[in-house]
Structure 1
Amino acid sequence: MSAEPSASTAGAAPVVRIGPGEIRGFWRDEARSSAAFLGIPFAQAAVGGLRFAAPVPPEPWEGVRDAIVFGATAQRGDPGITLIPEPSVPGASTLNVNVFTPSPGTAGAQLPVLVYIHGGGYVAGSPASPWYDGAAFARDGVVTVVVSYRLGFDGFGHIAGAPSNRGVRDWLLALEWVQQNVAAFGGDPARVTIAGQSAGGGAVLTLLGMPAAQHLFHGVWALSGAIANVTPERARTLSAKLAHLAGVVPTRDGFAGADEQTLIDLQEKAISHGSTSPMAGVTSLLHDGLSWGPMIDGDLIAEPTIEALRSGIGADKPLVLGATDDEFSMALDGAKGKLRLVPAGLALGRLLPDAAVRKAYLAANTAQRRKGTAAVLGRFVSDWVFRRTVVQVAEARGVAPTWAYRFAWASPVNGWACHCLDVPFWFDVLDAEGVGAIAGPRPPRGLAAASHGSAVAFIRDGDPGWTPWSAHPGIARVFDADATSPDVQADAFASARALV
């Protein structure tokens, strides 16, 4: 169902009062079992003097403000073909939230709250995606808040004279907004779970390891979390390259002289190595990590996220994390022919030069080796960027309540349990636009019921329903098509352990 109102559901619209004023949403169905409020500003537009500033709470407004269409997005223009449909919405006021609730205006309902942060490599993505529709969560008694944030250089680039990690500060202010206002939508500010996928998964893990964020949430679910941990040196180098390309000095005043679109167009060029080879980009990602994203700034983020978790930050909060089995394997399908006669060990040598680790990794992935060298390289990239993070984070947390899972169902479209495939199952939106393109015409609804049901259980009760890793290290739930018989494996991430 579309998130925007139809003629049959627009009447007698729900109105709630939040801090800055009253807002009008719309009912999702004739029975008025849930409502949506879209594009609510949690901060003033980051333009003019606020362009590279920390986010500032919105000004109060008079009368009733309509919240019936998606707000502007930090993502600009046509993102091209993406695995998740994430539309760009023009406009200046990009710092906004979308709220989906079964109990608008019922302050005493005290329903559990999900706050979702979208992915997109910290440079793209949109909270207006039909896959982030909270209707199914509302059906199950959960208030959902989907938040936006500044992307790429605007959100995360180093700028002399400007606050660091502006995108992180956006997350924090959005969570402050939730604390102050979610009761008006029937939510309980003392029962907030933060969740996200890919960069969004990395975002919630980053927040879990931040002392300044601890009072803003009570549980975390990270889907395919990609942690950035950009070093100050790398951030300064990239900003200097971007300034050179834009023809400005690398200061706040200098970057303010370049228009937004110019910096967006140049930020990818700033991280390129001058090679058009796809493997050059893969090698850079594996060796250097993500270029734009949360930076270790000595202020908000004092140390790498896994080190922060190892020191005990966030240990009082339950965590679920996992990944799909072959996040990026399909990216190498086009190279199957070229790699057909290349031994896997030889092909992997460039990406994994340590011979002992390479040998151990290949020994742990004999099943993947039977699928060919391209499959081994795809699995390695998936493991290095996503799946080993599950093991690292779970081990760093020790006895802190932690559950792990694998999403193993292979799509009939590409033959892989690929990146983003789990999202429509987790949100239980299998009929949404674009799902068939990645999951095929008949995605298993039992799998959606299992995945989404585990999310609801965790958001509601703090337990997704299987044995935690923290009690039995290595154990994880495996989500596959046969959801009627849950599969819990004792060492579910053994194939990635050699990389930890």
Structure 2
Amino acid sequence: MTTTDTVQAPAGTIVGRRLGPVRRFLGIPYAEPPVGVRRFAAPVPRGRFSEPYDASRHGATAQVVPLSETTTVPEPSVPGDDVLNLSVVTPVDAERCPVLVWVHGGGFLAGSPASPWYDGRSFARDGVVTVTVGYRLGVDGFAPLDDAPANRGLRDLLLALDWVQENIAAFGGDPGRVTLAGQSAGGGAVLALLSSPATRGRFRRAVSLSGGHFEVAADAAHAYLERLGDRLAVPPTREGFARRTVEQLQWCVRELRAAEALVLGPGVGDDVLPVTILAGLGAHGHDVPLLLGATGDEFDGPLGAAERAAARAAGTRTTDTLFRAACPSTAAARRTTTAGTWLYSFEWPSPALGGAAHCTDIPYFFDVLDAPGVAQALGPNPPAELATLMHADLVDFVRGQDPSWAKATGTLGDPAREYGRPGAALAADTTGAFDPVARAVVEAC
């Protein structure tokens, strides 16, 4: 039976819903709506609510237009201007629980924090508070414009982390035990923020699933914006893009994106990212333990076992260069950290998608195999035991425990945990899982 549940927080009175042992407070604005003069500006903190805030449903999403007609992760778009909002899922009677702050993926162009795959009910069951965050996307969040602050989407996430520090104790969370985590673009955002001098003290642990060093070079971004402006018949400036709605921009981005993998994303050269992500990882976040990994096949599609082995041994697939190579290079950059870096590789081949495809590890880490869309992505009988193991490893990490396998240093033969490799244990500690892409890292060092 669902009942109302009220929290008195520094942000104001927030009214959510309780169902059994789980409390949900959805769509809480942490910033003013980024519209009008605030559209391409730095986020403005939301003032204290003067009336009880109804947090019974998901808030508006920055995504208006999905990245494609069908996506592996169910990614609902919710209309509205108040897109800078977050949701909190917490155990009943929670008190100083560790906190997982989740950043969704979508190529920095799309994605939705309202996905049922990101529901924190299993984390709540295990004594963890989950916060899912919405942030600006595409042109609004990441286009480098001469008369606007850069990295607006990352600035949104920084403000959301500030909100967590100020308010999460009212929901039973411990602001001193915050883990920042995300997948794909979200995992890339985690690495970007971990590399930033602006984030110190906002989170104590970090997890990157299929993330990478996804900064976009300024010349490439400007060239893309020129093409976008031509198609929209506006100059590629703040004033020009402001003449078009978010929906118009997102449709145009989707139409132009077909042949380009990463067109907008974090940019280097401001106070958030003064240097490249890899350089920043070598200079900052040394007191933050990091767990990161990738799926075995990401975007490289179904192959036979022999073909897959040969392709992986070459280390030249999109999967390798865009995602997996970031694992040993990040470990190498953090080699001198006191906190440590641990690697995992998700190897379970989905019978529905073929191979260990992009996003297929999310329902296992969240332990939500019964969520909508999971059967379509993973087939009718995904192994529940694998979800139990992966989720437990992530919960232990968020609680403050170091992984049971050895730390990585970015060298050949680095240790890693493999999940779901056919013919092996569901979770097996191994070495060399990232060697095909680590060769280049070793040579560079």
Q: Shift of residue 320 of structure 1? A: 0.4
Is the contact between residue 410 and residue 438 of structure 2 (CA under 8 Å) also seen in structure 1? no
Q: Shift of residue 237 of structure 1? A: 2.3
Q: Please say which structure displays the higher CA radius of gyration.
A: 1
Partner of 1:321: 292
Q: Distance in 1 between matches of 2:403 and 2:391?
A: 10
Equivalent residues, number: 436
Give, as a single letter, the amino acid of the residue that structure 1 aligns with 2:350.
Answer: S
Q: Shift of residue 169 of structure 1? A: 0.6
Partner of 1:44: 32
Q: Distance in 2 between matches of 1:250 and 1:440?
A: 44
SS of 2:351's partner is coil
Q: Distance in 1 between matches of 2:435 and 2:31?
A: 44
Partner of 1:389: 326
1:119 aligns with 2:97: no
Which has the larger displacement, 224-233 or 66-75?
A: 224-233
SS of 1:413's partner is coil
Partner of 2:414: 474
Q: Distance in 1 between matches of 2:353 and 2:86?
A: 33
Match of 1:307 among 279, 291, 299: 279
Q: Shift of residue 484 of structure 1? A: 6.2
Match of 2:347 among 401, 404, 408: 408
Partner of 1:86: 75
Q: Shift of residue 485 of structure 1? A: 6.3
Partner of 1:55: 43
Q: Shift of residue 270 of structure 1? A: 5.0
Give, as a single letter, the amino acid of the residue that structure 2 aligns with 1:167.
Answer: G
Is the contact between residue 318 and residue 462 of structure 1 (CA under 8 Å) also seen in structure 2? no
Partner of 2:386: 447
1:21 aligns with 2:12: yes
Is the contact between residue 142 and residue 152 of structure 2 (CA under 8 Å) also seen in structure 1? yes
Which has the larger displacement, 391-400 or 187-196?
A: 391-400
Is the contact between residue 219 and residue 462 of structure 1 (CA under 8 Å) also seen in structure 2? no
Is the contact between residue 65 and residue 247 of structure 2 (CA under 8 Å) also seen in structure 1? no
- Any gaps of 5 or more consecutive residues in structure 1? 1-7, 273-280, 337-366
The 5 Å alignment of 1:183-332 reads 183-269=169-255, 281=259, 285=261, 290-310=262-282, 312-330=283-301
Give, as a single letter, the amino acid of the residue that structure 2 aligns with 1:241.
Answer: R
Inter-CA distance 271–441: structure 2 relative to 1 (3 Å threshold) = closer
SS of 1:25's partner is strand
1:166 aligns with 2:105: no
SS of 1:406's partner is strand
Q: Shift of residue 318 of structure 1? A: 0.2
SS of 2:357's partner is coil
Greater strand percent: which structure? 2
Is the contact between residue 229 and residue 293 of structure 1 (CA under 8 Å) also seen in structure 2? yes
Give, as a single letter, the amino acid of the residue that structure 2 aligns with 1:260.
Answer: V
Q: Distance in 2 between matches of 1:261 and 1:132?
A: 24
Inter-CA distance 402–371: structure 2 relative to 1 (3 Å threshold) = closer
- Any gaps of 5 or more consecutive residues in structure 2? none
Q: Distance in 1 between matches of 2:103 and 2:424?
A: 27
Is the contact between residue 424 and residue 430 of structure 1 (CA under 8 Å) also seen in structure 2? yes
Q: Shift of residue 229 of structure 1? A: 1.2
Which has the larger displacement, 233-242 or 298-307?
A: 233-242
Give, as a single letter, the amino acid of the residue that structure 2 aligns with 1:410.
Answer: P
Q: Distance in 2 between matches of 1:164 and 1:372?
A: 41
Inter-CA distance 28–234: structure 2 relative to 1 (3 Å threshold) = same
Q: Distance in 1 between matches of 2:308 and 2:124?
A: 44
SS of 1:99's partner is strand
Q: Distance in 2 between matches of 1:471 and 1:118?
A: 26
SS of 1:126's partner is coil
Q: Distance in 2 between matches of 1:196 and 1:221?
A: 7
Q: What is the aligned-residue RMSD (CA, Å)?
A: 2.3
Q: Distance in 2 between matches of 1:399 and 1:447?
A: 32
* Normalised TM-score (structure 1): 0.82
Inter-CA distance 51–475: structure 2 relative to 1 (3 Å threshold) = same
Partner of 1:65: 53
Inter-CA distance 462–302: structure 2 relative to 1 (3 Å threshold) = farther
Inter-CA distance 121–498: structure 2 relative to 1 (3 Å threshold) = same
Which has the larger displacement, 407-416 or 477-486?
A: 477-486
Identical pairs, percent: 45
Q: Encode CA deviations 1:397-431: one digit per residue, 9 max, x unaligned.
A: 10320100111111122331111110000000000
